[in-house]
């Protein structure tokens, strides 16, 4: 399954797997802020959608990018893609 196709109900379990923890963390802005800072994820709004992306050591290569309707979902999916790949 592609990370971009994960439903909101599937995010907590998949996030826990990506974080290598047993139980799903509370999904809120406190967690997302930490992920943005620690994982160097960028977040931008484009019209009615949000894009979160991670650019690796080379500035010309995006290693993970997710565009969805909400900022939190974009951050979480980008983090999951960064850690587990685009197909899980």
Segment 17-68, tens digit of pLDDT: 999 999 999 999 999 999 999 999 999 998 999 999 998 776 566 689 999 9
Which runs of E-coded beta strand occur in the chain? 41-46, 49-55, 62-68
This prediction has a pTM of 0.91
Ordered by start, the domain boundaries in the chain are 3-84
Tell me the three state secondary structure of residue 21. Answer: coil
Q: What is the dihedral of CA 8, 70, 68, 49, to 10 degrees?
A: 160
pLDDT confidence of residue 20 = 96
Segment 7-19, tens digit of pLDDT: 999 999 999 999 9
How far is residue 47's CA from residue 34's CA, in Å, rounded to a whole number? 25
How far is residue 59's CA from residue 10's CA, in Å, rounded to a whole number? 31
Contact 76, 16 (CB under 8 A): no
């Amino acid at each position: 399954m592609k990370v971009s196709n994960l439903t909101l109900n599937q995010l907590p379990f998949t996030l826990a797997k990506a974080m290598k923890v047993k139980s799903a963390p509370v999904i809120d802005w406190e967690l997302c802020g930490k992920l943005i800072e620690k994982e160097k994820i960028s977040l931008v709004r484009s019209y009615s959608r949000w894009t979160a992306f991670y650019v690796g050591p080379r500035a010309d290569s995006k290693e993970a990018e997710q565009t969805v309707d909400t900022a939190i979902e974009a951050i979480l999916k980008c983090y999951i893609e960064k850690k587990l790949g685009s197909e899980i």
